[in-house]
A and B are shown apart, each in its own frame.
Chain A
Amino acid sequence: MKRFLDIIGDLRIAFWLLLSAALVMWIGSIICLNNYSLIDSLNGSRIQEWLPAHLRQHPGATWWIPLLFLVFFLLGINTMACTARRILNLIPAGRGMSAKGFLVALSPSIIHLLFMLMLSGHLLGFAMVEFEKVPVRQGEEAVLKNVGTVRVASVTHQFFPRDSLLRGRVRQSRMILEFPRQGVPETAVLEFLRPVYRGGYIIQLDMERKKRTETPRIADPETCNRETHFNFSGPKNAGSPRLYLAVTRDPGLFVLFPGFIAVILIMGWYFYQVTLGSGRNAR
């Protein structure tokens, strides 16, 4: 068993896998720049449904995605084995250490376990995500696939002050939603960055302008910057913003958020101990 863990948990493998992941993601990022719409369509789609179809249609733009999953899968196995080996060695050695020294020595293993947990959370999200985007207007009803019927009771926009250079631009929007429940509507307030949670689904506000009178910019036809969808730098008409409800369910979030917080706290404490604190010799 120990020999097996030594081989698959070798730190040299971890090093080269991390560099391989960095290289594959760098190549992927370049491909994303040239295929924004295609790769962006993966957001909100389940990887096992999206990948087979797009791998056949656009192999040149998607080949790196399965490779990335393979690299992270191998990194996960390597990390698990390496961490198990380290903890098995640390437990007997820890008997002669102070409690704090033992915790400092154990911290990297905990960080690695949390890293594994977060990789699992991402995988869960990629495989199980549900996403829907529905255009809505004030006074209208919309049928959301997973949440049911919702009525947009009112929409109000808050703009930047008139005496500022941002005048006429939306600062915040507020939408009152009504969910019919046994004949009595249940209301919820939806704003940008303040989603509504309902039955395990996150409902968010999204928006684009309806009309555009300015000349579209030629540069960066495919970009994640959506400023011109919301606002214009040049003269514009009075077209009100087009509003959407974005409904998401991502089970990976329940794993990711606790993992994020725990890993940052432990990592900060560990690096403080080994660089500035009293646990410098505990590594």
Chain B
Amino acid sequence: MMNPLSLCLWAAAVCYAAAAILTFLKRAGAGYASITAGVIFNGAFLIQRGWIAGVFVPNGIVEGVFLTPFFMAAILLLLGLRNRRDLSFMSAAVLPALFGAFALLYPRGIIPPTPNKLTVWSVLFFMTESAGHACLYTGGWLALAGIIRRDDSERYHSLLLWGFVLFSVAQVTGALWAFLGWGSVFRWGSRHLQSAVIWCYFAAYLHLRFLPGWDRIKRLAFAAAGMIVIAGCTFGSSLAEMKFPRIGG
């Protein structure tokens, strides 16, 4: 029999997949309800994961693979609360569905935390980083949808702006954590460099609006390509961390 932790994750993934399918079948309202249920199940999973070792370890809640689909779905929930009539953004339900499916394949246990990881700064870092990734992915997806549908919604741009702000906050909280733990705010290594890649790419995006020759379609394409940049910079480490020794789950 499936334990409550796995049950919640499966339920969240099924809700996300159902939301994507319902939206594809032009039933965005039902899809929105399904996303809402998914957020609840995903949230329940994350809270349980904090206690997975028999003692509360917040690092279990903020692991990107499980937190990013939660934030992606929560963004859709917030967008719906702001404008209930226009659910065109619901095409982005594909994102939590895909990330939720990947989370199902991922080890549920936590990497035993070293003393240097047991700080509020690491929790803030992973939370803001995942929220930033979720905004940037969703903005990128809506940009792609804008190219396909040829609509003139600017929603994607706001999401990219807030994604950039959150990702910048993550760099600051991460820098504070690195300073307290290792005495420097930047370390020469793949993790820090790949974060800087994402930051520079979206900093370049922010300048596009002021460049002649970059019409709307080109800007949308650049924003959509950002999804590949984030995936290219983060997916490898997620795969590598699957091999790390874990506890619980």
Residue-wise, chain A 217-240 has the 8 Å CB interface mask toward B (1 for contact) of 101100111111011111000000
Q: Does residue A32 face the partner (Cβ distance < 8 Å to B)?
A: yes
A residues in contact with B40, CB < 8 Å: none
How far in angstroms is the closest Cβ of chain A from B231?
12
Q: Is the CB of B184 within 8 A of A26?
A: no
Of the residues A15, A42, A275, contact of B207 by C-beta under 8 Å = A15
For A275, give its contact among B158, B197, B243 (CB under 8 Å).
B158
Picked from A26, A169, A252, the residue with its CB within 8 Å of the CB of B232 is A26
Q: Does B124 contact A (CB under 8 A)?
A: no
Are A263 and B197 touching (Cβ within 8 A)?
no
Q: Are B201 and A19 in contact (CB under 8 A)?
A: yes
Residues in A93-136 with C-beta less than 8 Å from chain B? 122, 125, 129, 131
Q: Is the CB of A264 within 8 A of B188?
A: no
Cα separation A231 to B112 with both chains bound (whole Å): 8
From 243 to 272 in chain A, residues with beta carbon under 8 angstroms from any chain B beta carbon are: 246, 248, 250, 252-253, 256, 260-261, 263-264, 267-268, 271
CB distance from B109 to the nearest CB of A (A): 9
Could you mark each residue 70-84 of chain A with 1 if its beta carbon is under 8 Å from any beta carbon of chain B, else 0?
Answer: 000000000000000
Find residues 110-148 in chain B having any chain A CB closer than 8 Å to their own CB: 111-116, 118-119
A189 lies within 8 A of chain B by Cβ: no
* Residues in chain B near residue A230, CB distance under 8 A: 114-115
Chain B nearest Cβ from A272, distance in angstroms: 9
What distance in Å separates the Cβ of B26 from its nearest Cβ neighbour in chain A?
A: 30
- Asked if B1 is at the interface of the complex by the 8 Å CB criterion, the answer is no
Q: CB distance B194 to A26 under 8 Å?
A: yes
CB distance from B178 to the nearest CB of A (A): 10
Q: Check A166–B57 contact: CB distance below 8 A.
A: yes
Residues of B79-130 contacting chain A, CB below 8 A: 111-116, 118-119
Cβ distance B53 to chain A, nearest Cβ, rounded Å? 4
- Which of A18, A22, A40, A204: most chain B CB closer than 10 A? A22
Q: Does A192 contact B (CB under 8 A)?
A: yes
Whether B245 pairs with A43 at a CB distance below 8 angstroms is no
A22 near B114 with CB under 8 A, answer no
| B185 and A256 form a contact (CB under 8 A) | yes
Interface: A143 (CB within 8 A): no
User: Once the chains bind, are A193 and B189 in contact (CB under 8 Å)?
Assistant: no
Q: Across the interface, do A172 and B118 meet the contact criterion of CB distance under 8 Å?
A: yes
Contacts of B211 in A (CB 8 A): 11-12, 15
Interface residues on A, range: 35 or more
- Min CB–CB distance B121 → chain A (angstroms): 8
Residues of A within 8 A of B217 (CB): none
In the bound complex, how far is the Cα of B179 from the Cα of A122, in angstroms?
A: 13
Q: B114 and A227: CB pair below 8 A?
A: yes
Residues on A with beta carbons closer than 8 Å to the beta carbon of B244: 220, 225, 227
1/0 per residue, CB under 8 A from A, across B166-179: the answer is 00110010011001
B247 touches A32 (CB 8 A): no
**Known contacts A193-B180, A253-B179, A263-B168, A32 near B111 by CB under 8 Å:** no
By the criterion CB–CB under 8 Å, are A29 and B116 in contact?
no
Give complex CA distance A207, B181 in Å: 12
Partner of A26, one of B189, B233, B246: B233
Binds B, one of A145-153, A156-164, A178-186: A156-164
* Given contact pairs A22-B197, A25-B193, A204-B182, A170 touches B53 in the complex (Cβ within 8 A): no
B191 interface residue (CB < 8 Å to A): yes
> B2 at the A/B interface (Cβ < 8 Å)?
no
Q: How far is the CB of A283 from chain B (nearest CB, A)?
A: 9
Residues of chain A lying within 8 A (CB to CB) of residue B191: 224
A87 within 8 A of B: no
Contact A11-B207, Cβ < 8 Å, known A193-B119, A271-B161: yes
Name which of B161, B204, B211, B243 has the most chain A CB atoms within 10 A of its CB.
Answer: B204
Cα A26 to Cα B190 with chains together (Å) = 8
14 A–B pairs (Cβ distance < 8 Å), ordered by A:
A19-B200, A21-B200, A26-B232, A28-B193, A29-B190, A33-B190, A122-B186, A125-B186, A166-B54, A169-B112, A192-B118, A260-B172, A264-B168, A267-B165
Q: Which 8 A-B pairs have the closest CB atoms?
A: A233-B245, A248-B183, A164-B54, A192-B115, A18-B204, A164-B55, A29-B193, A22-B200
